[in-house]
Structure 1
Amino acid sequence: MLGINKSIFRRLVISYMLTVLLGLCVVGLVISFLTKIYIMDSKQKELLREAKRVNLAIQNATVVDDRFKELLVFFDQSYDTRIWIFDLQGKIAATSAKDEVYVGKSVDASIVDKVKKGENIISNMQFAGLKESMLSVVIPWGKDNQVYGGIVLHAPVTGMNETITNLRETILWGTLFGLLLSAIIASYLSRSISQPLQQIERVAATIGMGDYRKRIRIRSKDEIGDLAATINQMVAKLEQIDGEKKKLEQIRHDFLANVSHELRTPLTAMQGFLEALQDGLIDETAKPRYYDIIYNEIMLMNRLVDDMMDLIKLENNDISLSRAPVDVEKVLQQVVFKFESEASEKNTGIELHISDNLPKIYADLSRFEQILNNLIKNAVKFTENGLISIQADEDEQYIHIRIADSGIGISSDDQEMIWERFFKADRGRSRKSMGTGLGLAIVRELVSLHHGKIEVQSELEKGTTFDLWLPSVEMAKKNNY
């Protein structure tokens, strides 16, 4: 972990220092460049304004005399700029400073040509007799459309270069300070990252050994804190899954024992009856009854196997539905008729209430019957001397079917597990009421396959209510089911 910490520290320090260095260098270059442009532009505009004022003062003077020269010296001292006046032949006629350029020297012919056309000129010029480059402006000297020559105002660029140099030195010192500050911040961040990572590593090692009781104690509100909270949630989920796994293992164990019992009972009965038939111990008049019993036991085993195969296919998405509009009222009447005799044997009544003009559902007819068979069969199985109420009505774009019984009910703990395969909520009841624990698991898968939903409400010794919603034909078309 120390190697990791050092690596993180090194990478953070280098990345912060490089980021600060590159950022400040780029910013410094941009600032110095823009500052230079701004200073040059401002100075040029200022020189142009000053040159125009000089022209206003001397535009009526056509002869270079002492008063003319005094005006040039006055403006030189006022503006702190050098002023030259040249005629239309390009020869310098007067200057504000005698030591810079001799009178009679010539300026560049291209400048003279532009002045004759009335154009202003802004450039860095190098004149004979001057030792340094100057920022210069040239404007026509004259009045109205009459041009006598040109006026040159110039200032050395030395001061501007010094300003840019000072600015760059300031940026350099700021860069060095930024590098030092980034190293301090990187060191702090490295510790704030590596220490929580050490704790996460220790807890993860403990979890890897199967101990789910450990939790990461990090209070920070950043990404590492979020990571720690996520890991804690994962550990809690693993602990829950481990507990559920043990519970499911017990359910599977119970299921295997139950299936073995369910298969052994009909097999034992059939074996006894067949042996009696083979040995001729059964009277001819009683044989049909024995054949019926054997047949019923075979059908019981077939149903058990069919339920198991259906569930496996549903969970593996191996079943495809053949959907079509289905009349809910007609199917409910058929299913109720099927279970009426069995319910009456237990002194239980079945009531059917269906809303008028109930829309059709979009479902697989045989699978819809299978759903109803399982739900109503359970209601009949666990209700004696009671009532089973079946209602069907429209609920928005769904058809809502409610199957309520007044039977023995389901405990609140078992209600969470009744949809799991192999689970049986009727432990401790008579063998006559025992099942395989697959019916409701099949119902849930079939309802989901139809894009419906199902809920249960129950209370011990007061009864159970199943609420089933299946999409109507209109909804199925709208959602392309």
Structure 2
Amino acid sequence: MYLNPNTSIFRKILISSIVTVLLGLCAVGLVISFYAKTYIVDSKSNEMIRQAKRVNLSIQNQPIPNESFKDLLLFFDQAYDKRIWIFDAEGNIVVTSSKDEVNAGKVVSEEVVSQVIRGEAAIWNQTEGLEEAMLSVAVPWGKDNNVYGGIVLHSPLKGMDETTAQLRETILWVTLFGIFFSFAVSSYLSWSITRPIKQIDKAAAKIAVGDYSDRIRINSKDEIGELATTINHMMEQLERIDQDKKKLNQLRHDFLANVSHELRTPLTAMLGFLEALQDGLIEEGARGKYYEIMYNETLHMNRLVDDITDLMKLENKEIHLVFMSVDVQEILSKLAFKFRPEAEARGTVIHCVMDEESPQAYADPDRLEQILNNLIKNAVKFTENGTIELRAMAVPSEECVLITVTDTGIGISPEDQGLIWERFFKVERGRPFQHKNSTGLGLAIVRELVELHNGSVRVRSELGKGSTFEVRIPLVQSAAANKQA
């Protein structure tokens, strides 16, 4: 990804890092330079004081300079590479280590003389009477408490200044290297920060326009990596919400379209019949048939409204069950008797298989009857010249009552088996016959009611061979045990 060098964060990190390193190294360099020079001067001064004291040890027994005295000073001058002066108690320079010295007879400052006479060493920078600046030290000349005068050693400051200058030059190069290194490190850090931020910004821009498909790919485990992970999780949630919203809108659209269709069909038929009756187009003897058709269409619309109302109440959690022990076989027998005439009219036989133990379910009796009523109604509707078997048995291992409704009807295709629980889905679409009284809401209500009982429902079917619906409702014993726990 292209990194814009004018990016605010990049510029701030780079400038702040370089300025920090530059100021830090400059400050350290100045401190080191100052203390290094002080250390060099102090070390040199202490060394010269020790050398001056050695000179004194050699001449302390000679209070009056003579020719051998000068030769001895010349020896020390060459040995120490220092210029040597000897002055008396009044500060007059009486002899020097250089043969062509022109300072003999001159006077040393009173401050230095008084300090030496007191037996103390003196240190100062000497420039007067010399060709170049010198570091000078003076120690007493004498033995024990007898001080004849002082011994002065001079060393050029030029060498020390050159050493300090070299040190400063080294510090300068280190500073330049530090700035270059700081630039490289800051550039990398800025890149490592701004690159993921740009990715986050790009993802945020896509979120703003409703695109949740992109993902931020950052492998770091730092705070930015955690932020990217959080945003990715947020995008997944938003994408899921958006898909659910689209699905909900589609369901709402389908719901309204299906309701309109289901209501328009009977209303259109009724309107046509009423207009025919009103215009006197139907003979008196045939009016009873038309009244019956309109009555059936009214019942169909009433059932549709009742089913929609039940489904909406279930989805809004507005239906409250009254749980008790329910004899499932008793309900199956009642419903078998209810649907037997309709089944026989279609050439179908209903068998109710009885279990000697008569399993007791923990359920709301009215809603359980509604569940089984819808399942048996579907079985009768889709089975001609066949059989329907109703069975209920306890399954202790699953702590439930297993209720099965098996028919030998037209069956359900594999692709439709996942859709039959949707509202207004009619498995008979495209079949050779239609069922006008179907609302397409029965199985949707069954699923909601079964889930409200903490149970489950499933279907096993094969085209042309029939279907089996299995409903599992908690046993009374297991439900009571769970309630006590």
TM-score by length of 1: 0.54
Q: Find the counterpart in structure 1 of residue 400 from structure 2.
A: 398
Query: Deviation of residue 339 (structure 1)?
Result: 2.2
Query: Deviation of residue 8 (structure 1)?
Result: 10
Farther off after superposition, 425-434 or 305-314: 425-434
1: CA distance between counterparts of 2:233 and 2:467?
35
Write the mapping of 1:75-154 to structure 2, written as runs, cut at 5 A: none
Q: Assess, with a 3 A threshold, how the Cα gap between structure 1 residues 256 and 354 changes in structure 2: closer, same or farther.
A: same
Matched, 1:416 2:395: no
1: CA distance between counterparts of 2:446 and 2:457?
9
Write the mapping of 1:221-260 to structure 2, written as runs, cut at 5 A: 228=228, 232=232, 235=235, 239=239, 242=242, 246=246, 249-260=249-260
Q: 1:480 aligns with which of 454, 479, 483?
A: 483
Q: Find the counterpart in structure 2 of residue 266 from structure 1.
A: 266
1:432 is paired with a residue whose SS is coil
2:270 is paired with a residue whose SS is helix
Q: Find the counterpart in structure 1 of residue 294 from structure 2.
A: 294
Unaligned 5+ runs, structure 2: 16-183
2: CA distance between counterparts of 1:229 and 1:462?
52
Q: Is the Cα–Cα contact under 8 Å of residues 329 and 359 in structure 2 kept in the other structure? A: no
Query: Deviation of residue 279 (structure 1)?
Result: 5.3
Q: Assess, with a 3 A threshold, how the Cα gap between structure 1 residues 313 and 461 changes in structure 2: closer, same or farther.
A: same
Q: Assess, with a 3 A threshold, how the Cα gap between structure 1 residues 286 and 224 changes in structure 2: closer, same or farther.
A: same
Query: Deviation of residue 305 (structure 1)?
Result: 0.4
1:480 is paired with a residue whose SS is helix
2: CA distance between counterparts of 1:201 and 1:370?
55
Q: Give the percent of matched residue pairs that are identical in Structure 1 and Structure 2.
A: 57
Q: Assess, with a 3 A threshold, how the Cα gap between structure 1 residues 185 and 353 changes in structure 2: closer, same or farther.
A: farther
1: CA distance between counterparts of 2:325 and 2:346?
35
Q: Is the Cα–Cα contact under 8 Å of residues 259 and 436 in structure 1 kept in the other structure? A: no
Q: 2:453 aligns with which of 450, 454, 466?
A: 450
2: CA distance between counterparts of 1:266 and 1:440?
22
2: CA distance between counterparts of 1:265 and 1:185?
77
Q: Assess, with a 3 A threshold, how the Cα gap between structure 1 residues 280 and 423 changes in structure 2: closer, same or farther.
A: closer
1:469 is paired with a residue whose SS is strand
Q: Find the counterpart in structure 2 of residue 441 from structure 1.
A: 444
1: CA distance between counterparts of 2:410 and 2:208?
45
Farther off after superposition, 397-406 or 211-220: 211-220
Q: Find the counterpart in structure 2 of residue 467 from structure 1.
A: 470
Q: Find the counterpart in structure 2 of residue 338 from structure 1.
A: 338
Write the mapping of 1:15-26 to structure 2, written as runs, cut at 5 A: none
Q: Assess, with a 3 A threshold, how the Cα gap between structure 1 residues 422 and 296 changes in structure 2: closer, same or farther.
A: closer
Q: Assess, with a 3 A threshold, how the Cα gap between structure 1 residues 458 and 197 changes in structure 2: closer, same or farther.
A: farther
Q: Assess, with a 3 A threshold, how the Cα gap between structure 1 residues 270 and 190 changes in structure 2: closer, same or farther.
A: same
| Matched residue type, 2:460 | Q
Write the mapping of 1:196-215 to structure 2, written as runs, cut at 5 A: 196-215=196-215
1:307 is paired with a residue whose SS is helix
| Matched residue type, 2:443 | L
Write the mapping of 1:278-427 to structure 2, written as runs, cut at 5 A: 278=278, 286-396=286-396, 397-427=399-429
Query: Deviation of residue 330 (structure 1)?
Result: 1.1
1: CA distance between counterparts of 2:290 and 2:257?
27
Q: Is the Cα–Cα contact under 8 Å of residues 323 and 362 in structure 1 kept in the other structure? A: yes
1: CA distance between counterparts of 2:285 and 2:447?
46
Larger radius of gyration: 2
Query: Deviation of residue 304 (structure 1)?
Result: 0.3
Q: Assess, with a 3 A threshold, how the Cα gap between structure 1 residues 4 and 331 changes in structure 2: closer, same or farther.
A: farther
Query: Deviation of residue 370 (structure 1)?
Result: 1.1
Q: Assess, with a 3 A threshold, how the Cα gap between structure 1 residues 422 and 208 changes in structure 2: closer, same or farther.
A: farther
| Matched residue type, 1:437 | G
Q: Is the Cα–Cα contact under 8 Å of residues 407 and 463 in structure 1 kept in the other structure? A: yes
| Matched residue type, 2:475 | S
1:58-81 superposed Cα distances (whole Å, 9 cap, x missing partner): xxxxxxxxxxxxxxxxxxxxxxxx
Q: Assess, with a 3 A threshold, how the Cα gap between structure 1 residues 399 and 310 changes in structure 2: closer, same or farther.
A: same
Q: Assess, with a 3 A threshold, how the Cα gap between structure 1 residues 222 and 360 changes in structure 2: closer, same or farther.
A: farther
1: CA distance between counterparts of 2:403 and 2:12?
65
| Matched residue type, 1:359 | P
Query: Deviation of residue 301 (structure 1)?
Result: 0.6
1: CA distance between counterparts of 2:417 and 2:228?
34
Q: Assess, with a 3 A threshold, how the Cα gap between structure 1 residues 204 and 422 changes in structure 2: closer, same or farther.
A: farther
Q: Find the counterpart in structure 2 of residue 25 from structure 1.
A: none
2: CA distance between counterparts of 1:188 and 1:337?
83
Q: Is the Cα–Cα contact under 8 Å of residues 389 and 403 in structure 1 kept in the other structure? A: yes
Query: Deviation of residue 420 (structure 1)?
Result: 3.1
Q: Assess, with a 3 A threshold, how the Cα gap between structure 1 residues 202 and 344 changes in structure 2: closer, same or farther.
A: same
Query: Deviation of residue 412 (structure 1)?
Result: 3.6
Query: Deviation of residue 266 (structure 1)?
Result: 2.1
Query: Deviation of residue 268 (structure 1)?
Result: 2.9
Q: Is the Cα–Cα contact under 8 Å of residues 388 and 405 in structure 2 kept in the other structure? A: yes
Query: Deviation of residue 422 (structure 1)?
Result: 3.9
1:6-65 superposed Cα distances (whole Å, 9 cap, x missing partner): 99999xxxxxxxxxxxxxxxxxxxxxxxxxxxxxxxxxxxxxxxxxxxxxxxxxxxxxxx
Q: Is the Cα–Cα contact under 8 Å of residues 402 and 468 in structure 1 kept in the other structure? A: yes
| Matched residue type, 2:407 | D
2:451 is paired with a residue whose SS is helix
TM-score by length of 2: 0.54
Query: Deviation of residue 395 (structure 1)?
Result: 1.5
Q: Find the counterpart in structure 2 of residue 86 from structure 1.
A: none
Q: Find the counterpart in structure 1 of residue 45 from structure 2.
A: none
Q: Is the Cα–Cα contact under 8 Å of residues 353 and 391 in structure 1 kept in the other structure? A: yes
Q: Is the Cα–Cα contact under 8 Å of residues 252 and 422 in structure 1 kept in the other structure? A: no
Q: Assess, with a 3 A threshold, how the Cα gap between structure 1 residues 7 and 251 changes in structure 2: closer, same or farther.
A: same
1:228-255 superposed Cα distances (whole Å, 9 cap, x missing partner): 5665566466556655655554554444
| Matched residue type, 1:407 | G
Q: Assess, with a 3 A threshold, how the Cα gap between structure 1 residues 369 and 216 changes in structure 2: closer, same or farther.
A: same
Query: Deviation of residue 448 (structure 1)?
Result: 1.8
1:297-340 superposed Cα distances (whole Å, 9 cap, x missing partner): 21111000011111111111211223332211111111122222
